[in-house]
Amino acid sequence: MDSIGFDLHLRESQLCVLGDDGTAQQRRIATTVAGLNAFFAARAPAQIVLEASTESEWVAQHLEQLGHAVRVADPNDARLYAGRSRHIKTDARDARALAEAARRHDWHVAYRPSAARRRLRQELAGRELLVRTRTRLQAQLRCLVRAAGQRVPPAKAETFAERAASVPLPDTLAPLRETLLTVHTAVQAQVLACTERLTALGRADVDVVRAMTAPGVGIVTASAYVAALDDVTRFPSGEQVACYLGLVPRERSSSESRRLGGITKAGDTRVRWLLVEAAWTIRRGRSAETAALRAWCQRVERRRGRSVAVVALARRLAVILYTMWRTGRDYEAARLRGAAGGTA
């Protein structure tokens, strides 16, 4: 069976085909369905390795449909390019390194999420972009009104347009305000539509519904958490999840010296800040079901400060969600009260 290294690019990709007899063939093809079909459709099944990228999933799925064995490599695995010169980098060398890795089988395979969780990720990314656009429009409108010596009263996103339109402005600024408000209204409508689709997808996912039973966790946070992990059995412990989400401290230790820094901020940025926002909500809450978590956070806060305590609570929340997922149980505040004396 041939081993093929696929150095994937947006328009054209580089291939290196290693035959069983040791021969190597370099080829460049278009990164399109037609280009893939022209080269791979008539070939005998081969083992193909390509790097994880934006295009890697659809390319991998299409090659699998053509009968090939495809694996997506983790680009952070240094063993993929261990033999490459640091002073010379070309697509041909990268493709050759991937082809040799396909033959060795001694490197990390990138995880490929399920179709349902990829759909969740896409909706989350689209909604995040729309929300950021809405926020920038609101900021620009507030600046426009302030330039005329006025203020937009505090308002939620649903009522912001109405309140911004009610502020008197000079005739020179009114047309620009109308333009921005028109765009804001359109963006707000799309945010609501995206949220409805996300809610429908989340309500149909039992893991998302279970995560929403935890305090401070709504449909967006639960969907983002589940979509990021996809398969909970990939992680042997809650601490592994905290590391995966970048909620553990950096460490530079050697010999008798140990230095801890801020959190690593590795992994999915969206999930991390959503968990931190959920932690802030818990800290400010007053409900009985969050009493144990608030008490724990307050003890950490007295020792380390408010910001560190909230991040520590976000890490603990990530572990709680993991435990709920692994055990198949909803959130139970009584179980936390018994463990209220735990440490950060």
CB 15 within 8 A of CB 26: yes
Same domain, 277 and 305: yes
The last residue of a domain, from among 104, 123, 145: 104
Same domain, 57 and 79: yes
Residue labelled with tokens 């490599």: 73
Judge whether residue 137 has pLDDT over 50: yes
CATH number of the domain encompassing residue 64: 3.30.420.40
Burial of 251 (0-12, 13-18, 19+ CB in 10 A): exposed
Same domain, 331 and 217: yes
Q: What is the DSSP string of 138-162?
A: HHHHHHHHHHTT--PPP--HHHHHH
- Say if 218 falls within a structural domain: yes
**pLDDT class of 36 with cuts at 50, 70, 90:** very high
26 torsion bin: left (phi>0), alpha (psi -120 to 50), beta (else): beta
Burial of 266 (0-12, 13-18, 19+ CB in 10 A): middle
pLDDT of residue 8: 92
Domain count, the chain: 3
**pLDDT class of 83 with cuts at 50, 70, 90:** low
Same domain, 29 and 145: no
Same domain, 314 and 218: yes
**pLDDT class of 201 with cuts at 50, 70, 90:** very high
Give Cβ neighbours of residue 324 (< 8 Å, ≥ 6 apart).
210, 211, 213, 214, 330, 331
Judge whether residue 340 has pLDDT over 60: no
* Domain span at 56: 3-104
Same domain, 224 and 333: yes
Judge whether residue 22 has pLDDT over 70: yes
- Say if 332 falls within a structural domain: yes
pLDDT of residue 56: 93
Same domain, 18 and 100: yes
The last residue of a domain, from among 104, 135, 167: 104
Burial of 213 (0-12, 13-18, 19+ CB in 10 A): middle
The last residue of a domain, from among 104, 130, 159: 104
Judge whether residue 254 has pLDDT over 50: yes
Same domain, 64 and 162: no
pLDDT of residue 84: 62
Judge whether residue 232 has pLDDT over 80: yes
Please tell me the least confidently modeled range out of 96-105, 169-178, 204-213, 297-306: 96-105
Q: How far is CA 318 from the centre of its chain?
A: 14
**pLDDT class of 64 with cuts at 50, 70, 90:** very high
The C-alpha atoms of residue 115 and residue 295 are separated, in whole angstroms, by 40
pLDDT of residue 341: 43
Question: Pick the residue with more confidence: 336 or 83?
Answer: 336
| Percent of the chain predicted with pLDDT > 90 | 76
pLDDT of residue 295: 93
Same domain, 217 and 200: no
In angstroms and rounded to an integer, the radius of gyration of the C-alpha atoms of the chain is: 26
**pLDDT class of 251 with cuts at 50, 70, 90:** confident
Please tell me the least confidently modeled range out of 12-26, 56-70, 197-211: 12-26
| φ and ψ of 27, to 5 deg | -150, 145
Q: What number of other Cβ atoms are within 10 A of residue 199's Cβ?
A: 16
Q: Over the stretch 153-196, which tens digit does the pLDDT of each residue have? A: 999 999 999 999 999 999 999 999 999 999 999 999 999 999 99
Same domain, 199 and 214: no
The stretch 241-260 carries a mean pLDDT of: 87
Judge whether residue 339 has pLDDT over 80: no
CB 123 within 8 A of CB 26: no
Judge whether residue 98 has pLDDT over 50: yes
- Say if 109 falls within a structural domain: no
Same domain, 98 and 119: no
Helix/strand/coil (H, E, C) string of 186-245? HHHHHHHHHHHHHHHHHHCCHHHHHHCCCCCCCHHHHHHHHHHHCCHHHCCCHHHHHHHC
Same domain, 73 and 128: no
